[in-house]
Structure 1
């Protein structure tokens, strides 16, 4: 019996974002929450924290798993995880919305299929790069 993936986990790197937006906890919470709603997720609870002197971390717990974000405004960078289970939520909707709202000039995404213990070498299924990443010409 072949095990079907239990979930999709998008590991998202957002580069050269609007630094002011990345340090605005209210904006970060609103944006991550809206991205979950647009993707079709059922929001259970949110928690966000501002760091001193800068940066925001937060989580949106959804019935289908979670979305998390950690920002480094001083670098214009955000690390985002979008983990969804089932077929009713489209994590790529969140990815596109977050790229747009944080005004990322480039992005990198890796999709990992979760729960494939019998085929661990094939869990990374998709990699997407947009824009120009730091250090590339």
Structure 2
């Protein structure tokens, strides 16, 4: 079994997509769909005057995101276990949705898989321009 946790930091995002829960919901559900992940439930928080957080509980673990509108930042997690899901596709869906100028993705092996890896892998997956 593979336990992968992607930490997705997106900078310079399209701010009009960061302010409200509706966009957090759309982005996370798109990620679940593209990753072929099994959704169990979801919860969201709208901040005032703007900003949103959301989490989707999935059979394979969870997806979450938090927005900072003034900074144009979205921080997200895609944590899955098993070999029948495609977490990289879920990560790509989030990047496609929020249109960041720059994205840093950290791929962390968790549980028994974590013992196989000495350090976390960091890579810039996407840089606009």
TM-score (ref. length: structure 1) = 0.85
Matches within 5 A, 1:2-41: 5=2, 7-41=3-37
Q: How far off is 1:121 after superposition?
A: 5.8
2:108–2:114 contact (8 Å) kept in structure 1: no
* 4+ residue runs over 6 A deviation: none
In structure 2, stretches of 5+ residues that fail to align are: none
Rg bigger for which structure? 1
2:45–2:52 contact (8 Å) kept in structure 1: yes
2:68 counterpart of 1:72: yes
TM-score (ref. length: structure 2) = 0.90
RMSD: 1.9
Q: Check 1:88–1:105 CA distance in 2 against 1; reply closer, same or farther (3 A cut).
A: same
Q: Check 1:23–1:122 CA distance in 2 against 1; reply closer, same or farther (3 A cut).
A: same
| Residue 128 of structure 1, aligned match among 120, 123, 126 | 123
Q: Cα deviations across residues 76-126 of structure 1 (Å, max 9, x unaligned)?
A: 0000000000011111101111111111111000000000388376252x3
In structure 1, stretches of 5+ residues that fail to align are: 133-137
| Residue 82 of structure 1, aligned match among 56, 78, 92 | 78
- Counterpart in 1 of 2:45? 49
2:109–2:117 contact (8 Å) kept in structure 1: no
